[in-house]
Structures are given as C-alpha cells and as structure tokens.
Amino acid sequence: MLSIENLRCAYGTAEILRGIDMDVHVGEVVALLGRNGMGKTSLVRSVAGTRPPVVSGGTIRWAGTDTTHAPSHERARLGMGLVPQGRHVFSSLTVHENLTVAARRRQNGWDLDEVYAFFPRLQERSRSRGRNLSGGEQQMLAIGRALMTNPQLLLMDEPSEGLAPAVIAQIRERIQQLKGSDIAVLLVEQNLGLALSVADRVYILGDEGRVAWHGQASELEADDDAQQRLLAV
C-alpha cells in the first residue's frame, strides 16, 4: 500500500503541495485529478523521488518502508514504476532497448514477450528508435518500459495527453487489464471520462495545494457540483 501523510513539497521557496493525505491499495486504480498547475505532477514526482520538487514535510510510505527521502532508484527497486508526463522514452535507444535496459525479472511477472503481447504495435516497431515513434507508440513504450521493471505501484502521469481517441481507447483497455492484477495504479488525468471509466477512487487537488475532494469514482460521476467547481475549465 502507498500511504501519503501530510505531504508538502516545494520548488525553491514556492510551496506547491501543502499537506496531502492519500492512500493507494494494491489491486485498485486511484485517479488523481485537478486543473492544470494544481500540483498533480509534483505529487507524482515526490512519490517517485525525482527532483525537483523537494519534499518539505510529511511522509510517503510504500510497502512498509518510509521512502520519503529515498533516492528514486531505490524506490524503483521497491516496486514503483513511473510513466512520466511527456513519456520520456529514451530517444536514441530502440524500442527493444528501451524495454530491456532497466528490466527486472520477477517470477510470473512481465517480460519482453508479455509486453509485446500487451502492445503488439511495439513489437512491430522494435527496431525503431524512440525519437521516431508516434505519440501513441511512445506512450505504449513508456507504459511497457515501466511494466518491464515489474512494478507493484504504477504511477501514470497523464497517459492520454495529446493522443488520438482510438489510442486513448486502447490505453483505457490496457489500464483495465492491469486492474485486478496485484498492482496498485495511481493515474493522473485531465481526461475525466477516461479516469472515471477505470478508477475505483478519485482524489482531486484544489488550488490550495490540498486534496479538495475525494471519494468513489461513482460518487464523482454523480456530483456535478464538484465537477464544475474543481475540474471545469
């Protein structure tokens, strides 16, 4: 279980998150929503340990370990897998290399064949370099690459950003397939439809650097007021 308590983080002197409490359990998909600039990416980066921002208070516990200040490679080894906003595939590596470079084996876990079966398009493009992929292919690669580390917590930051509806539909299907395996997913999204269709629970960040709403995805679906107040642009 990922358990975040009273988390604060800052870029220099600008404090962005001011006391976040959040849990994500193995087996569930939790969506993290909020308007642009509310600090969703900052939260994901704080959990993954990529700096900046710097955590200025509170704790992040994962799998029974206090990881608040652990270096990011140690968090990855504890089972966190990051699919960052903007995808960040290795541009000069081939698809194959992107997948194998940081692979970590686990009994009955993900391997190259399984990732290729999950995203057949990646196998077709296995010899292409990251920079030559389309946005959708890059997104599949970023997800596949994270899966190759056999994570138990998957942090996905806006996987649908900038993608065509058909590709988004495929990503949605894949997230649904991941759900129910022994993996916890924290999904940051701007696409409310996608989030509601895959998430069990939802947290919404408000403009004070705190959680402004949380509850079941079905509750948010019925709560027009919360949607208007916290998400409408």
Ligand X SMILES: Nc1ncnc2c1ncn2[C@@H]1O[C@H](COP(=O)(O)OP(=O)(O)O)[C@@H](O)[C@H]1O
**Residue numbers at the binding site for other proteins (CB under 8 A):** 48-50, 71-73, 76-77, 81-82, 84, 88, 90-93, 97-98, 100-102, 104, 130, 145-146, 149
The interface region with Mg ion, picked from 84-92, 133-141, 144-152, 199-207 by CB under 5 A, is 84-92
Q: Shortest approach of ligand X to residue 87 CB, angstroms?
A: 14
152 binds Mg ion (CB under 5 A): no
Q: Do residues 220 and 202 make contact, with C-beta atoms less than 8 angstroms apart?
A: yes
Instruction: Give which of other proteins, Mg ion, ligand X, none residue 101 binds (C-beta under 5 to 8 Å, depending on kind).
Output: other proteins
- Residue 197 neighbours by CB under 8 Å, 6+ apart: 172, 176
Beta carbon of residue 103, minimum distance to other proteins (angstroms, whole number): 9
Nearer to Mg ion, 43 or 115 (CB): 43
Q: How far apart are CA 82 and CA 98, in angstroms?
A: 14
Q: Which of 231, 200, 196, 197 is nearest to 213 (CA)?
A: 231
Checking 215-218 for CB contacts under 8 A at 24+ apart, the result is: 217/31
Residue 33: closest CA among 158, 198, 216, 203: 203
Pairing of strands 184-188, 153-157: parallel
Q: How many residues bind Mg ion (CB under 5 A)?
A: 3
For residues 61 to 80, the per-residue mask of contacts with Mg ion, x marking binding by CB under 5 A and - elsewhere, is --------------------
Q: Should residue 41 be labelled a site residue for Mg ion when binding is judged by CB under 5 A?
A: yes
- Is 40 a binding residue for ligand X by CB under 6 A? The answer is yes
Q: Spell out the SS3 assignment of 116-136.
A: HHHCHHHHHCCCCEHHHCCHH
The residues that touch ligand X, with contacts defined as CB under 6 A, are 11, 16, 34, 36-42, 52
